[in-house]
Structure 1
């Protein structure tokens, strides 16, 4: 098992040393995915995971987990032995080093690494593993950007040029983080409200803006309006911020999606940049 090639448009690979989340987002794709591969009622892990010290309900896995039937016969392996409960897979720490080809890695696509429930130890181990494989660009994403601020204030958050710290924002009331010393970006997915006034500042202060629409059950009733996207793009252009549109925005924007990337993020065939003249 190594870094996984990803269908997510704004990265080339994913790496999930931490899985599970407590944010409880109704539109969460990660929960739906993990529920498919977590242990079923007739399956049992070959060993019980231990809880992280001082972090109730958070678990540590030191090796890949095998699932057994009631007779003890092997059925399959799973990277999600605790389902969507926060789990640190310590045995994955060398995965970035094993891949020598430079890649754009989304770290913890199946978790919120910077959630309040995540122990500092987990975060620092993941960040150190990234620093030991500097051939890659690393993208982090959270709905709890205040954790970035806390870690930066304590001197824990690396300022590496290949580290990008993202904030998920779906409307202008959501908080985001930007820094003069770190690469930052915003992921407006799913875009649920227009960004106007003070809310538009998010686009102007970061180094990259990703825009996407809601997908999955019930998503048709929550699609963004084109004028919302146009306003965001206009603000980004004014500030010189590159804009990257996900495929799920085609129903709103059309086929000519903007696929702009900041320096240091090389997505090769995924870029296919289109120009937008504001009309």
Structure 2
């Protein structure tokens, strides 16, 4: 597990890395490609000479230009890889943390074998002192796993959906709505690159037709190359906050967390709220 600059969690844990999503704004892909590779026979490579998809029971090594040898964090760059040797990392941290699971992957992507996911969830259950936060663009897979009795319902598991446009928003609501009411669910709108609200009341109507509702909303701007021309308008953010704080909603109020990268859009007085269950460790 690693400390992180992601402002809505305490640490990140990546037993699986890599993704086949192909998002043009993906920060993880650029990091994995930049720092990817491992050393074999004195030569650096990103080739996979192991199983397909690759499963590593022990880390591969990378020799840096300085001559220092380290564990290769992304031996095959952004190829989806199961680092099984990382599974026990949460067990070594006794103090509870809010852990973002899979910051360098989409753990619930269609290309990820179910058995990988199950192994990760089983370890989470063995370290109940932590809160585990998951994010995916394939929220329907939560429901599929739940149908197979493989999805934990404990209160320290938080299942999130990442959305950037209206279609993804509707799909996330429908998929999340198929989960049991006992599950904690949240929404990450990042990067916000268009007005996804369409009209005031979008969230309220979506929530009322979807059980369980989103118990937390995270909003963020695009960062990195090309992001300057794709920054959100303040009005888009205001609409989201307005619906989250709508007193007429049966789920009022929904905590909203604005990431630090929204300061240029919103100003210094960012709203950075946590759900009560995450506050103690947030």
* Unpaired runs of at least 5, structure 1: 52-57, 271-279
* Unpaired runs of at least 5, structure 2: 247-251
**Contact map agreement 1:168 1:189 (CA 8 A) in 2:** yes
User: How far apart are the structure 2 equivalents of 1:209 and 1:133?
Assistant: 26
Query: Out of 6, 10, 13, which is 2:11 matched to?
Result: 13
User: How far apart are the structure 2 equivalents of 1:151 and 1:8?
Assistant: 27
User: How far apart are the structure 1 equivalents of 2:230 and 2:19?
Assistant: 23
The residue aligned with 2:198 is: 196
Query: Out of 2, 5, 13, which is 1:4 matched to?
Result: 2
The residue aligned with 2:270 is: 257
Instruction: Please give the residue correspondences for 1:104-253 in structure 2 after superposition, counting only pairs within 5 Å.
Output: 104-174=98-168, 175-176=171-172, 177-178=176-177, 179=179, 180-194=181-195, 195-197=197-199, 199-200=202-203, 201=205, 205-238=213-246, 239-253=252-266
| CA deviation profile, 1:69-93 (whole Å, cap 9, x unmatched) | 9xxx974431211110000011111
Q: Is the partner of 1:67 in helix, strand or coil? A: strand
TM-score, structure 1 as length reference: 0.86
Q: Is the partner of 1:264 in helix, strand or coil? A: helix
- How many residues are matched? 258
| CA deviation profile, 1:204-239 (whole Å, cap 9, x unmatched) | 730000000000011111111111101100100123
User: How far apart are the structure 2 equivalents of 1:193 and 1:74?
Assistant: 45
1:50 aligns with 2:51: yes
**Contact map agreement 1:187 1:211 (CA 8 A) in 2:** yes
Q: CA RMSD in A?
A: 2.3
User: How far apart are the structure 2 equivalents of 1:19 and 1:184?
Assistant: 23
| CA deviation profile, 1:33-80 (whole Å, cap 9, x unmatched) | 1112111794148994322xxxxxx210111111369xxx97443121
User: How far apart are the structure 1 equivalents of 2:114 and 2:38?
Assistant: 31
**Contact map agreement 1:11 1:267 (CA 8 A) in 2:** no
TM-score, structure 2 as length reference: 0.85
- Which moves more between the two structures, 240-249 or 149-158? 149-158
Q: Is the partner of 2:104 in helix, strand or coil? A: coil
The residue aligned with 2:279 is: 266
- Which moves more between the two structures, 36-45 or 186-195? 36-45
User: How far apart are the structure 2 equivalents of 1:59 and 1:89?
Assistant: 9
- Which moves more between the two structures, 138-147 or 152-161? 152-161
**Contact map agreement 2:19 2:79 (CA 8 A) in 1:** yes
Cα distance, 1:97 vs structure 2: 0.5
Structure 2 vs 1, CA of residues 47 and 145 (structure 1 numbering), >3 Å: closer, same or farther? closer
Q: Is the partner of 1:63 in helix, strand or coil? A: coil
Structure 1 stretches of at least 4 aligned residues deviating more than 6 Å after TM superposition: none
